[in-house]
Amino acid sequence: MNTGTAGSGAARLALPDFPWDLLAPHKATAAAHHDGIVDLSVGTPVDPTPDVVRDALAAASDSPGYPQTWGTPQLREAVSRWFARRRAVPGLDPDAVLPTIGSKELVAWLPTLLGLGPGDIVGLPAVAYPTYVVGARLAGATPQEVEGLAQFGPPTPATTPKLLWINSPCNPTGRVLGVDHLRKVVAWARSNGMIVASDECYAQLDWRPEADRGAGESGTPSVLDPRVCDGDHSGLLCVYSLSKQSNLAGYRAAFVAGDASLIAGLLEVRKHAGMIMPRPVQQAMIAALDDDASVDAQKERYRRRRDVLVPAVRAAGWTVDHSDAGLYLWATRGTDAWSDVEELSRAGILVAPGTFYGPGGRNHVRIALTAPDDRIDAAAQRLTSI
């Protein structure tokens, strides 16, 4: 826990240390390898941004006026089309869409934007993206790991979350929640008057065979899927980013969609706070959302890298758990995560310890697919010596 200096903001908010700062000594060890480091510790894209997106950004670069916090009607309509075409969610109201400055910003500030504070509980997965906890702390609310809905018993204001985060495909585990699971979560949340926020940023990177998916799905099911919510988006928010599917991490291009009344409330606060996506980025998002070919081509790049790493990791003695979707392998040898990080760093490979994602990850490491092909090949070769 970062106690900071006396009176510091971090101390008052009880924020954790930034996890990746703790990897510095292991990064130095990996960088000393005679053939250089293979950095598989973060999920940052390394492949080119599609030309059609870059062209749209350039064409909109003469933008002297203030952009719209709500996003242009054309952007919100593009999101609606994308949901119908790629996520099996027809008829999404464009008025129920709001662009955000990357998805991490929305995750970190959503509890605050919703008006949560001291005494309120934010539920989150037991093994999860660290920013869910940070978002609760920033609001002064209490983060609470949710292993299963049965843990709550009879609902009370003191024990039941006001906001429940779900994450499918999960970062870091790659676990996918099916329609039946999502449907039960939504029904339970509605019966207890809570908001469900579903982080679906890796949904277009689903590695499961077609037979394991629903009809017409090119990715994992959304919380807004009519099979999940019966076409009623009340109390539901879906968060999505174009960083992974379109190599737009540097653009900070994301959105939240779902309950129109919740979106309207978020919009009003964001207007006051100046949380506005630049208009050139909004235009680039439209191009990316309509560009299925580039998304499919990028997925195939990651598939090839995954096909190289998975057998190499297994041959080196690790078990790959879940990892049905997303950009990571969730691997374990049943040993301490930090000792595995240290051993891999000596082979010039940097990975993230599962402890970054909660105590439940103490025996796992997260291995990213986001490295150029030659570095992935190098990692696979180095794993043979471990």
Residues whose CB falls within 8 Å of the CB of residue 307, separated by 6 or more in sequence, listed in order: none
CA 14/CA 239 separation, integer angstroms = 26
CA 76/CA 384 separation, integer angstroms = 49
pLDDT value, residue 154: 62
162 burial via Cβ count (<10 Å: 0-12, 13-18, 19+): buried
Three-state DSSP class for 160? coil
Q: Write phi, then psi, for 161 (nearest 5 degrees).
A: -60, 145
CA 236/CA 175 separation, integer angstroms = 20
DSSP state of 382: H
pLDDT value, residue 146: 86
* Bridging pattern class, strands 349-350 and 163-167: unpaired
Looking up tokens 């909109």 gives: 60
pTM as predicted: 0.91
Looking up tokens 């064409």 gives: 59
DSSP state of 176: -
Nearest of 332, 339, 340, 382 to residue 360 by alpha carbon? 332
Give the pair of three-digit tokens for residue 111: 């509890």
Q: Spell out a b/e string for 214-237, using b for 16 or more CB atoms within 10 Å of the CB, else e.
A: eeebbbbbbbbbebbbeeebebbb
CA 384/CA 123 separation, integer angstroms = 41
pLDDT value, residue 218: 59
Superfamily the domain 9-48+294-383 falls into: Aspartate Aminotransferase, domain 1 (3.90.1150.10)
pLDDT value, residue 219: 72
- How high is the mean pLDDT in each 10-residue block of the chain (386 residues)? 42 71 95 96 96 98 94 98 96 97 97 96 94 96 83 65 96 95 95 96 93 68 97 98 97 98 97 96 98 97 98 97 97 97 98 95 97 97 92
Cis check for the bond before 169: say yes or no (omega within 30 of 0): yes
pLDDT value, residue 329: 98
pLDDT value, residue 4: 40
pLDDT value, residue 6: 39
pLDDT value, residue 5: 40
CATH number among 3.30.450.40, 3.40.640.10, 3.30.420.80, 3.50.50.60, domain 61-290: 3.40.640.10
pLDDT value, residue 210: 80
Domain boundaries, the chain: 9-48+294-383, 61-290
Residue ranges of alpha helices (H) inside 225-364 are 226-229, 243-246, 260-273, 279-289, 292-315, 337-346
pLDDT value, residue 3: 37
Do 9-48+294-383 and 61-290 show the same overall fold?
A: no
